[in-house]
Structure 1
Amino acid sequence: MIAEPIYETLCPHPNEVDRKRIEKTLAERERYKYVAPSVLPDVDGYLVRSPCCSRTIDPDGGEIDIARIEFQEGGFWRLYQKDDANQRWRAHSEYLSLPTLLARLIADPKREFWR
Protein backbone atom coordinates (compact mmCIF):
# COMPACT_ATOMS: atom_id res chain seq x y z
CA MET A 1 0.00 0.00 0.00
CA ILE A 2 1.31 3.43 -0.98
CA ALA A 3 0.89 6.10 1.67
CA GLU A 4 -0.58 9.46 0.63
CA PRO A 5 1.65 12.47 1.15
CA ILE A 6 0.69 14.25 4.37
CA TYR A 7 0.25 17.57 2.53
CA GLU A 8 -2.45 16.14 0.25
CA THR A 9 -4.35 14.79 3.25
CA LEU A 10 -4.18 18.08 5.17
CA CYS A 11 -4.78 20.40 2.24
CA PRO A 12 -6.96 18.97 -0.53
CA HIS A 13 -6.43 21.97 -2.79
CA PRO A 14 -5.65 22.41 -5.55
CA ASN A 15 -7.43 19.47 -7.15
CA GLU A 16 -8.67 18.86 -10.67
CA VAL A 17 -12.37 18.56 -9.78
CA ASP A 18 -12.57 22.00 -8.15
CA ARG A 19 -10.32 23.54 -10.81
CA LYS A 20 -12.76 22.40 -13.51
CA ARG A 21 -15.75 23.57 -11.42
CA ILE A 22 -14.19 27.04 -11.11
CA GLU A 23 -13.44 27.13 -14.83
CA LYS A 24 -17.04 26.19 -15.70
CA THR A 25 -18.51 28.76 -13.30
CA LEU A 26 -16.33 31.55 -14.72
CA ALA A 27 -18.05 31.09 -18.07
CA GLU A 28 -21.17 32.55 -16.39
CA ARG A 29 -19.47 35.84 -15.48
CA GLU A 30 -20.98 39.19 -16.37
CA ARG A 31 -17.88 41.00 -17.64
CA TYR A 32 -15.56 40.26 -20.56
CA LYS A 33 -17.45 37.18 -21.71
CA TYR A 34 -15.58 37.19 -25.01
CA VAL A 35 -12.26 36.06 -23.51
CA ALA A 36 -11.46 32.64 -22.09
CA PRO A 37 -9.90 32.80 -18.62
CA SER A 38 -7.64 30.02 -17.39
CA VAL A 39 -7.66 28.45 -13.94
CA LEU A 40 -4.29 27.18 -12.80
CA PRO A 41 -3.35 25.20 -9.71
CA ASP A 42 -1.61 27.36 -7.10
CA VAL A 43 -0.42 26.86 -3.52
CA ASP A 44 -3.50 25.78 -1.48
CA GLY A 45 -5.80 26.99 -4.24
CA TYR A 46 -6.18 28.37 -7.73
CA LEU A 47 -5.01 31.25 -9.89
CA VAL A 48 -7.42 32.84 -12.36
CA ARG A 49 -5.81 34.52 -15.38
CA SER A 50 -7.32 36.06 -18.49
CA PRO A 51 -6.33 37.96 -21.60
CA CYS A 52 -6.44 41.69 -20.81
CA CYS A 53 -9.55 43.14 -22.42
CA SER A 54 -9.47 46.83 -21.65
CA ARG A 55 -5.74 47.38 -22.06
CA THR A 56 -5.73 49.39 -18.82
CA ILE A 57 -3.50 46.89 -17.04
CA ASP A 58 -1.49 45.57 -19.99
CA PRO A 59 -1.38 47.88 -23.01
CA ASP A 60 -0.19 44.97 -25.17
CA GLY A 61 -3.27 42.89 -24.29
CA GLY A 62 -1.33 40.09 -22.64
CA GLU A 63 -2.63 37.72 -20.00
CA ILE A 64 -3.22 39.25 -16.56
CA ASP A 65 -3.97 37.96 -13.07
CA ILE A 66 -7.67 38.23 -12.25
CA ALA A 67 -7.98 36.55 -8.85
CA ARG A 68 -6.40 34.08 -6.49
CA ILE A 69 -8.62 31.61 -4.64
CA GLU A 70 -7.17 29.91 -1.59
CA PHE A 71 -8.55 27.27 0.76
CA GLN A 72 -7.76 28.14 4.38
CA GLU A 73 -6.86 25.74 7.17
CA GLY A 74 -10.03 26.67 9.10
CA GLY A 75 -12.19 25.26 6.29
CA PHE A 76 -13.09 28.52 4.54
CA TRP A 77 -12.09 30.19 1.28
CA ARG A 78 -10.22 33.46 0.77
CA LEU A 79 -10.48 35.54 -2.40
CA TYR A 80 -7.52 37.73 -3.37
CA GLN A 81 -7.35 40.56 -5.86
CA LYS A 82 -4.21 41.75 -7.61
CA ASP A 83 -2.70 45.06 -6.55
CA ASP A 84 -1.38 45.94 -10.00
CA ALA A 85 0.58 48.99 -8.82
CA ASN A 86 2.61 46.94 -6.32
CA GLN A 87 2.45 43.63 -8.20
CA ARG A 88 1.20 41.63 -5.21
CA TRP A 89 -1.94 39.86 -4.03
CA ARG A 90 -4.23 41.55 -1.53
CA ALA A 91 -6.81 39.64 0.52
CA HIS A 92 -10.27 40.78 -0.59
CA SER A 93 -12.87 38.66 1.23
CA GLU A 94 -13.59 35.32 2.89
CA TYR A 95 -16.37 32.79 2.24
CA LEU A 96 -17.68 29.63 3.87
CA SER A 97 -18.18 27.93 0.50
CA LEU A 98 -16.56 27.95 -2.91
CA PRO A 99 -19.89 28.56 -4.75
CA THR A 100 -20.48 31.73 -2.70
CA LEU A 101 -16.97 32.99 -3.49
CA LEU A 102 -17.46 32.26 -7.19
CA ALA A 103 -20.81 34.08 -7.24
CA ARG A 104 -19.02 37.19 -5.96
CA LEU A 105 -16.20 36.80 -8.48
CA ILE A 106 -18.43 36.39 -11.52
CA ALA A 107 -20.73 39.28 -10.56
CA ASP A 108 -17.87 41.70 -9.78
CA PRO A 109 -20.16 44.75 -9.30
CA LYS A 110 -17.28 47.17 -8.62
CA ARG A 111 -14.96 45.84 -11.37
CA GLU A 112 -12.35 44.86 -8.83
CA PHE A 113 -11.34 41.69 -10.66
CA TRP A 114 -12.48 41.83 -14.30
CA ARG A 115 -10.88 45.16 -15.15
Structure 2
Amino acid sequence: MNAAVLRRGVGGLAAHPNEFDRKRIERAIRSRKRYRYVSPRVKTVTGGYLIESPCCSRNIDPEGGTIDVALIHYDAQSAIWQLFRKDHVTKAWELHSVHQRLDAVTNELNEDSERLFWQ
Protein backbone atom coordinates (compact mmCIF):
# COMPACT_ATOMS: atom_id res chain seq x y z
CA MET A 1 0.00 0.00 0.00
CA ASN A 2 1.33 3.45 -0.86
CA ALA A 3 1.85 5.95 1.90
CA ALA A 4 -0.78 8.66 1.85
CA VAL A 5 -0.11 12.35 1.77
CA LEU A 6 -1.07 13.40 5.26
CA ARG A 7 -3.01 16.57 5.91
CA ARG A 8 -1.22 18.66 8.48
CA GLY A 9 -3.15 19.98 11.44
CA VAL A 10 -2.40 22.72 13.91
CA GLY A 11 1.28 22.84 14.75
CA GLY A 12 2.29 20.77 11.72
CA LEU A 13 1.19 17.44 13.19
CA ALA A 14 -0.32 14.78 10.94
CA ALA A 15 -4.10 14.44 11.18
CA HIS A 16 -3.85 10.64 11.38
CA PRO A 17 -2.91 8.69 13.26
CA ASN A 18 -3.80 10.38 16.53
CA GLU A 19 -4.43 9.13 20.04
CA PHE A 20 -8.04 10.37 20.16
CA ASP A 21 -9.16 8.28 17.15
CA ARG A 22 -7.06 5.30 18.25
CA LYS A 23 -8.99 5.26 21.52
CA ARG A 24 -12.31 5.70 19.65
CA ILE A 25 -11.54 2.61 17.58
CA GLU A 26 -10.42 0.70 20.65
CA ARG A 27 -13.71 1.48 22.45
CA ALA A 28 -15.84 0.80 19.36
CA ILE A 29 -14.50 -2.70 18.68
CA ARG A 30 -15.52 -3.80 22.17
CA SER A 31 -19.00 -4.09 20.61
CA ARG A 32 -17.92 -6.57 17.92
CA LYS A 33 -20.01 -9.68 17.37
CA ARG A 34 -17.11 -12.09 16.82
CA TYR A 35 -14.27 -13.19 19.09
CA ARG A 36 -15.45 -11.15 22.03
CA TYR A 37 -13.27 -13.18 24.40
CA VAL A 38 -9.94 -11.93 22.99
CA SER A 39 -8.28 -8.59 23.60
CA PRO A 40 -7.39 -6.93 20.29
CA ARG A 41 -4.86 -4.10 20.10
CA VAL A 42 -5.14 -0.93 18.04
CA LYS A 43 -1.76 0.38 16.92
CA THR A 44 -0.95 3.55 15.06
CA VAL A 45 0.68 3.20 11.62
CA THR A 46 1.48 5.75 8.94
CA GLY A 47 -1.83 7.29 7.89
CA GLY A 48 -4.04 5.16 10.11
CA TYR A 49 -4.55 2.32 12.53
CA LEU A 50 -3.77 -1.40 12.61
CA ILE A 51 -5.95 -3.82 14.58
CA GLU A 52 -4.29 -7.01 15.76
CA SER A 53 -5.68 -9.86 17.83
CA PRO A 54 -4.74 -13.27 19.16
CA CYS A 55 -5.89 -15.97 16.73
CA CYS A 56 -8.04 -18.02 19.05
CA SER A 57 -9.81 -19.89 16.20
CA ARG A 58 -6.40 -21.14 15.06
CA ASN A 59 -7.66 -20.88 11.46
CA ILE A 60 -4.88 -18.48 10.49
CA ASP A 61 -2.21 -19.26 13.07
CA PRO A 62 -2.32 -22.79 14.48
CA GLU A 63 -0.18 -21.60 17.41
CA GLY A 64 -2.76 -18.98 18.38
CA GLY A 65 -0.37 -16.08 17.85
CA THR A 66 -1.24 -12.48 17.08
CA ILE A 67 -2.66 -11.83 13.60
CA ASP A 68 -3.64 -8.76 11.62
CA VAL A 69 -7.40 -8.16 11.70
CA ALA A 70 -7.89 -4.88 9.87
CA LEU A 71 -6.14 -1.77 8.64
CA ILE A 72 -7.98 1.54 8.81
CA HIS A 73 -6.47 4.28 6.70
CA TYR A 74 -7.50 7.91 6.36
CA ASP A 75 -7.06 9.36 2.86
CA ALA A 76 -6.65 13.08 3.48
CA GLN A 77 -6.90 14.00 -0.21
CA SER A 78 -10.40 12.59 -0.59
CA ALA A 79 -11.37 12.85 3.11
CA ILE A 80 -12.45 9.21 3.31
CA TRP A 81 -11.72 6.29 5.57
CA GLN A 82 -10.53 3.09 3.91
CA LEU A 83 -11.07 -0.27 5.56
CA PHE A 84 -8.68 -3.06 4.53
CA ARG A 85 -8.83 -6.76 5.29
CA LYS A 86 -5.84 -9.07 5.37
CA ASP A 87 -5.57 -11.92 2.89
CA HIS A 88 -3.59 -14.23 5.13
CA VAL A 89 -2.70 -16.59 2.27
CA THR A 90 -0.95 -13.91 0.20
CA LYS A 91 -0.15 -11.75 3.24
CA ALA A 92 -1.52 -8.73 1.36
CA TRP A 93 -3.96 -6.04 2.43
CA GLU A 94 -7.11 -5.79 0.31
CA LEU A 95 -9.34 -2.75 0.19
CA HIS A 96 -12.70 -3.82 1.58
CA SER A 97 -14.70 -0.58 1.72
CA VAL A 98 -14.57 3.21 1.96
CA HIS A 99 -16.55 5.42 4.32
CA GLN A 100 -17.11 9.08 5.08
CA ARG A 101 -17.09 8.56 8.85
CA LEU A 102 -14.97 6.54 11.25
CA ASP A 103 -18.02 5.17 13.07
CA ALA A 104 -19.23 3.61 9.80
CA VAL A 105 -15.87 1.81 9.55
CA THR A 106 -16.07 0.44 13.08
CA ASN A 107 -19.72 -0.57 12.60
CA GLU A 108 -18.77 -2.64 9.56
CA LEU A 109 -15.81 -4.12 11.36
CA ASN A 110 -17.98 -5.04 14.35
CA GLU A 111 -20.71 -6.66 12.23
CA ASP A 112 -18.37 -8.76 10.03
CA SER A 113 -21.16 -11.09 8.90
CA GLU A 114 -18.87 -12.82 6.35
CA ARG A 115 -15.98 -13.33 8.82
CA LEU A 116 -13.56 -11.41 6.64
CA PHE A 117 -11.86 -9.67 9.54
CA TRP A 118 -12.38 -11.70 12.70
CA GLN A 119 -11.28 -15.07 11.34
Pairwise same-fold verdict (TM > 0.5): yes
Identity of aligned residues (%): 44
Out of 84, 89, 92, which is 1:88 matched to?
Answer: 92
Offset from partner CA, 1:47-100 (integer Å, 9 cap, x none): 000000100100000000000000012101000000111111111110010001
Letter in 1 for 2:98: E
Q: Mark the runs of 5 or more structure 1 residues left unpaired by the alignment.
A: 1-6
Out of 75, 88, 103, which is 1:99 matched to?
Answer: 103
* 2:30 paired with 1:27: yes
1-structure distance, mates of 2:41, 2:20? 15
Q: What is the TM-score of this pair, normalised by structure 2?
A: 0.88
Q: Mark the runs of 5 or more structure 2 residues left unpaired by the alignment.
A: 1-5
Out of 36, 49, 53, which is 1:50 matched to?
Answer: 53
Report the secondary structure of 1:27's partner residue: helix
CA RMSD of aligned residues (A): 1.2
2-structure distance, mates of 1:64, 1:48? 9
Out of 82, 107, 114, which is 1:110 matched to?
Answer: 114
1-structure distance, mates of 2:87, 2:115? 13
Tell me the matched-pair count: 109
Runs of 4+ residues over 6 Å off in structure 1: none
2-structure distance, mates of 1:52, 1:113? 11
